[in-house]
Structure 1
Amino acid sequence: MSSQRYELVFSEGPGTGEDTVVVAPTGLAGPGGHPVYEDATGIVRAEISDRGEVRVLATGGGQNAVRVVRVRPLP
């Protein structure tokens, strides 16, 4: 799974709505050695493996972990 941009789809749990965020590469590698992507604000950062596995990375204190439902490559 190789893409310049991805759409991350977040959900807080069953029966809740979904939020999407578009992320682009930062040129950095995450703790697992995979590329790190971030949104335009720099608030959402995620490490995405070549198999589509996502690890959301904290960018500041007090952030609550939100479960990523899926990741979609964008053109």
Structure 2
Amino acid sequence: MSVRRYELTFPGSDGTGEDTVVLERTDAAGPGGHPVYADATGIVRAEISDRGEVRMLPSGGHQALSHPTSTRRLPDADG
């Protein structure tokens, strides 16, 4: 069964703390053939393998991509 949601944690934008974003599975596949997940805005996008390997994907030009410090599978919203 495929995972529908992930929570990614990044270093805080102010240099302290952490920023967390929830991504939901899209219908797209990434360059490695794994599902693409995106946040509600579509700005944060990542290809995530079935082993939890994350490849951040740009959603626009001049975007500075950072790698998450942690990745966590989330239970489905409906169950």
TM-score range, shorter chain: 0.7 to 0.9
2:52 & 2:69 partners in 1: Cα distance? 11
Higher strand share: 1
Count of aligned pairs between the two proteins: 73
Moved over 6 A (4+): none
Superposed displacement of residue 36, structure 1: 0.2
Higher mean alpha-carbon deviation, 58-67 vs 41-50, is at 58-67
- 2:67 aligned partner: 67
User: What runs of 5+ residues in structure 1 fail to find an aligned partner?
Assistant: none
Higher RCO structure (Cα 8 Å, ≥6 apart): 1
Q: Which has the larger radius of gyration?
A: 2
1:55 & 1:23 partners in 2: Cα distance? 13
- 1:29 aligned partner: 29
TM-score of the superposition, structure 1-length normalised? 0.87
TM-score of the superposition, structure 2-length normalised? 0.83
Q: CA RMSD in A?
A: 1.7
1:65 & 1:28 partners in 2: Cα distance? 19
